[in-house]
C-alpha cells in the first residue's frame, strides 16, 4: 500500500511538471504478449503478387513473398478477404465462408501458405466479414425457400401496407450504404430482406442463435487451419433494432438536409448501427479465441475489430472490468482526424490524444495510417512526411499496422474511368468517380523496376501500376544506401530491441506549432525521442519547451530520407534545427 502511494505521488509529480502536453505514465508491465508490441502488415491479396500470370494477385504469390515480410521484421500479416465470392465488392460479399476464391487459389494453396509462414515464424490473420453474406450463398438460397434451419438466417419482413394507397411498402425507411432502400422484395418468399450494403450483400440475422453458432464455426474452421486470429470487418452494422410489439421496425429520424429520399441522411443512425448487442457479440468472439487457445494450446489468437465509430462506442470493444473484448479495436484517428483537420502537428496530437486519453486502463493501443479503403499514406500526408508517419506509428506505444507499400513510400496510382474497378466508383459516373474510388491505393505492389513492377507477367494487370514504380520499389530501395524501406527496417529493429518502446511510458506534445514530439522512457533503459517537423518551413526548436528533464544532448539513431544529419552524432536539444518534413529518432545513449 505504502509503495502504491509513493508511485502515485511520482505519477502526480510527473503530470504536474508537464504542462500543455500529455503524459501517460503507467506502471510498466514487464511481460507483453506477442500482439501487444507487434508490427502487423496488411496484405491486399489481389495486388500483392501474381504467381500464375493472370494479372491478379493470389495465395501462391503471397507464399512466394513471405520471406520478404520476414526480412522486413513484421510479426504477423493479415489478409484482406480471400473467401469464395461473386466479387460484387472484391471479396466483402462472401458466398462460401469455408472456401477460397478460385482466382486466389485453393484450400491446399492456403495450407501451403500457412506451412511456409510457420517455418518463418510469421503469423497469418484473416479478414472475417460477418455483417452479411452474398445472395449467392447456399444459406441465402435455402432461406429464400424457407428450408428448415435456414428460415431466419436473414432479416425478413412482410413490409407495411400503406393505409392510403393500399400498397405494400418496405418495413422501414432505412437506406443502404450507397443509395436507395435497405429492403429488397423477394417474390418467392413474399417478403423483404435487409441489406445495409448492396442488394447482393444480405444482412445475416444475428438475433438467430443458429447464425451466431454458424459464424463461430467459421472462426474455428480457420483456426484449425492454423490462422493466428481475425480482423473483423465493419462490425457496427451487425445488429439492427428489434421489431416493436406490433412486429414493426421503427423509422430512422431523417435530417431534413436533403429532399432526396434515396440519400442516407439520418439525424443519427442508431437504429441500424453501433448497437450494444454488437459489442456483446465481439465479446463472444473473444471467448471463441480464448477457448481455442485453452483447448489447443499455442500462442494467443487475436481479435481485431474494424470500426469508424466515436471513441465512446469504439472503446467498449476492448471489454470491461469483468469481460475481455477484442484485443485491438483498430484506431483510425491518424486517418480520420487528420483528414478532417488537415495534416499538422496539432491534428496529429489530437489524433493521438483521442486514443490515449480514452484508452481503458490496461488495454493496448494501436496505430494505423492507411488501408485498402483510404488513399495512400504518402499521398495523404505528403511524400515528404512518409518517413515521419512510419516512424510515428512505431514509436507510439502498442501495436502498429502497416498497409502494404507504406514501407516503400508507395503513392496513389492514377486510374482512369475506363480502368476503374472499385464498385463504389463504378456505381457513380465518369465525372465524379474520383471522390469514391478506392482503386488508387490498390494498385499492384512494386517489387522491381521491371515489367509490371515484378508483380505479374500478364499483358495487363487488374489495375494499372502507379506511375512512380521505377523508383519506388523493393529492389531499388534495397540496393540504395538510404531509402524508405531501409528506414522502415531500422525502425522495426529498434522496436524489437528496445525495452523502452515495448513497455516504457509515453509523453507527447507540440513544440513551436509545427513540431510533434514523442518521448518514450523507462527507468533503467535509454530514453527515446521522436521529433518531426510537420510544417512546410525549416525551424529551430528548444526541446526544453517540451521537457526540461531531457539530457542536454541526444544521439541520432534514425532519420527521415531527406535529413542531412549524421547518424550516431550528438545533437543539442535546446537548439535543434529541422528541415520541413524532417523526422528523427534520438536516444539518450
Ligand X SMILES: *[C@@H]1O[C@H](CO)[C@@H](O)[C@H](O)[C@H]1NC(C)=O
Which residues of the shown chain bind Ca ion in the complex (CB under 5 A)?
50, 52, 54, 56, 58, 203, 237
Minimum distance from CB of 323 to ligand X (Å)? Answer: 4
Shortest distance in whole angstroms from residue 67 CB to Ca ion: 19
C-alpha R_g of the chain: 25
For 203, 396, 528, 571, the CA distances from 553, given in Å and listed in that order, are 59, 22, 12, 5
Question: Least separation, in Å, of the C-beta of 50 and Ca ion?
Answer: 4
114 phi/psi in degrees, rounded to 5: -65, -40
Of Ca ion, ligand X, none, which one does residue 320 interact with (CB within 5 to 8 Å by kind)?
Answer: ligand X
CA–CA distance, 467 with 469 (Å, rounded to integer): 6
What is the smallest separation between the CB atom of 199 and ligand X, expressed in angstroms?
A: 5
50 binds, among Ca ion, ligand X, none (CB under 5 to 8 A by kind): Ca ion
Is residue 67 part of the annotated active site? The answer reads: no
Partner whose binding site includes residue 150, from ligand X, Ca ion, none (CB under 5 to 8 Å by kind): none
Contacts of 235 (CB under 8 A, 6+ apart): 130, 131, 278, 281, 282, 305, 306, 307, 317
390: which 3 cell numbers? 512510419
Known active-site residue 233: yes
Site membership for ligand X, residue 233 (CB under 6 A): yes
Q: Binding to ligand X by residue 353, rule CB under 6 A?
A: no
Residues in the chain: 589
Nearest Cα residue to 75 out of 233, 229, 286, 285: 229
Which of 89, 273, 306, 406 is labelled catalytic? 306
Among 42, 51, 181, 200, binds ligand X (CB under 6 A): 200
Size of residue set near ligand X by CB under 6 A? 22
- The single residue of 184, 203, 233, 477 carrying the catalytic annotation is 233
CA-to-CA distance for 48 and 447, rounded, in angstroms? 9
- Least distance CB 64 / ligand X (angstroms): 28
Q: Does 30 bind ligand X (CB under 6 A)?
A: no
Q: CA–CA separation, 469 vs 229, rounded Å?
A: 33
**Cα–Cα–Cα angle for 573, 390, 474, rounded to 5 degrees:** 125
DSSP string, 130-183: -SEEETTSHHHHHHHTT-TTTTTSB-EE--EE-TTT--EE-SS--B-SSSSBSE
Question: Kind and range of the H or E element at 387?
Answer: helix 386-395
- Which stretch, 43-51, 127-135, 222-230, 569-577, contacts ligand X (CB under 6 A)? 127-135
From the list 21, 28, 323, 539, which residue makes contact with ligand X (rule: CB under 6 A)?
323
* Residue with the three cell numbers 518531426: 532
| Contacts (CB under 6 A) with ligand X, residues 84-123 | 89, 92-93
* Residue whose Cβ sits closest to ligand X: 131
Which position among 43, 219, 234, 515 is part of the footprint of ligand X (CB under 6 A)? 234
Phi, psi at residue 23, to the nearest 5°?
Answer: -125, 120
Single out the residue of 114, 125, 129, 550 in contact with ligand X (rule: CB under 6 A): 129
Q: Which residues are catalytic?
A: 233, 306
Interface residues with ligand X (CB under 6 A) are 89, 92-93, 129-132, 135-136, 141, 197, 199-201, 233-234, 280, 283, 320-323
Amino acid at each position: 500500500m505504502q509503495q502504491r502511494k509513493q508511485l502515485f505521488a511520482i505519477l502526480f509529480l510527473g503530470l504536474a511538471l508537464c504542462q500543455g502536453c500529455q503524459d501517460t505514465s503507467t506502471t510498466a508491465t514487464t511481460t507483453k504478449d506477442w500482439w501487444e508490441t507487434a508490427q502487423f502488415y496488411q496484405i491486399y491479396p489481389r495486388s500483392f503478387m501474381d504467381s500464375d500470370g493472370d494479372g491478379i494477385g493470389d495465395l501462391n504469390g503471397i507464399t512466394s513473398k513471405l520471406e520478404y515480410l520476414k526480412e522486413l521484421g513484421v510479426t504477423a500479416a493479415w489478409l484482406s478477404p480471400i473467401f469464395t465470392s461473386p466479387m460484387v465488392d472484391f471479396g466483402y460479399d462472401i458466398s462460401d465462408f469455408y472456401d477460397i476464391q478460385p482466382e486466389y487459389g485453393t484450400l491446399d494453396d492456403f495450407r501451403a501458405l500457412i506451412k511456409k509462414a510457420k517455418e518463418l515464424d510469421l503469423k497469418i490473420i484473416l479478414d472475417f466479414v460477418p455483417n452479411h453474406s452474398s445472395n449467392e450463398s447456399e444459406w441465402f438460397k435455402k432461406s429464400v425457400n424457407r428450408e428448415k434451419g435456414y428460415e431466419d438466417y436473414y432479416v425478413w419482413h412482410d413490409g407495411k401496407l400503406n393505409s392510403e394507397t393500399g400498397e405494400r411498402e418496405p418495413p422501414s425507411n432505412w437506406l443502404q450504404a450507397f443509395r436507395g432502400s435497405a429492403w429488397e422484395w423477394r417474390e418467392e418468399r413474399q417478403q423483404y430482406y435487409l441489406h445495409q450494403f448492396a442488394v447482393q450483400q444480405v444482412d445475416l440475422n444475428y438475433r438467430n442463435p443458429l447464425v451466431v453458432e454458424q459464424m463461430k464455426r467459421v472462426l474455428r474452421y480457420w483456426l484449425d487451419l492454423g490462422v493466428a486470429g481475425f480482423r473483423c470487418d465493419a462490425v457496427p452494422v451487425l445488429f439492427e433494432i428489434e421489431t416493436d410489439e406490433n412486429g414493426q421496425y421503427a423509422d430512422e429520424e431523417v435530417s431534413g438536409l436533403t429532399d432526396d429520399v434515396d440519400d442516407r441522411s439520418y439525424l443519427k443512425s442508431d437504429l441500424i448501427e453501433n448497437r450494444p448487442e454488437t459489442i456483446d457479440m465481439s465479446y463472444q468472439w473473444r471467448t471463441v479465441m480464448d477457448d481455442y487457445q485453452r483447448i489447443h494450446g499455442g500462442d494467443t489468437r487475436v481479435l481485431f475489430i474494424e470500426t469508424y465509430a466515436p471513441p465512446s462506442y469504439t472503446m467498449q470493444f476492448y471489454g470491461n472490468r469483468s469481460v475481455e473484448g477484442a484485443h485491438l479495436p483498430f484506431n483510425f484517428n491518424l486517418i480520420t482526424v487528420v483528414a478532417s483537420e488537415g495534416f499538422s502537428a496539432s491534428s496529429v496530437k489530437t489524433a493521438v490524444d483521442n486514443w490515449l486519453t480514452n484508452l481503458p486502463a490496461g488495454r493496448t493501443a494501436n496505430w494505423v495510417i492507411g488501408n485498402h479503403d483510404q488513399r495512400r499514406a504518402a499521398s495523404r500526408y505528403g511524400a515528404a512526411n512518409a518517413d515521419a508517419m512510419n516512424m510515428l506509428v512505431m514509436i507510439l506505444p502498442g501495436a502498429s499496422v502497416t498497409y502494404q507499400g507504406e514501407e516503400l513510400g508507395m503513392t496513389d496510382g492514377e486510374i482512369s474511368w475506363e480502368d476503374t474497378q472499385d464498385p463504389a466508383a463504378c456505381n457513380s459516373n465518369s465525372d465524379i468517380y474520383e471522390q469514391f474510388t478506392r482503386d488508387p491505393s490498390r494498385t499492384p505492389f512494386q517489387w522491381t523496376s521491371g515489367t509490371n513492377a515484378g508483380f505479374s507477367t500478364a499483358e495487363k494487370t487488374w489495375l494499372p501500376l502507379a506511375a512512380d514504380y521505377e523508383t519506388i520499389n523493393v529492389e531499388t530501395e534495397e540496393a540504395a544506401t538510404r531509402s524508405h524501406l531501409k528506414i522502415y527496417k531500422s525502425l522495426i529493429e529498434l522496436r524489437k530491441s528496445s525495452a523502452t518502446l515495448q513497455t516504457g511510458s509515453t509523453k507527447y506534445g507540440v513544440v513551436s506549432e509545427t513540431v510533434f514530439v514523442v518521448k518514450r522512457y523507462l527507468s533503467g533503459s535509454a530514453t527515446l525521442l521522436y521529433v518531426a517537423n510537420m510544417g512546410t518551413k525549416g525551424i529551430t526548436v528548444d526541446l526544453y519547451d517540451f521537457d526540461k528533464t531531457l539530457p542536454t544532448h541526444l544521439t541520432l539513431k534514425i532519420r527521415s530520407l531527406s535529413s542531412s544529419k549524421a547518424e550516431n552524432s550528438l545533437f543539442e536539444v535546446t537548439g535543434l534545427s529541422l528541415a520541413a518534413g524532417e523526422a528523427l529518432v534520438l536516444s539518450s545513449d
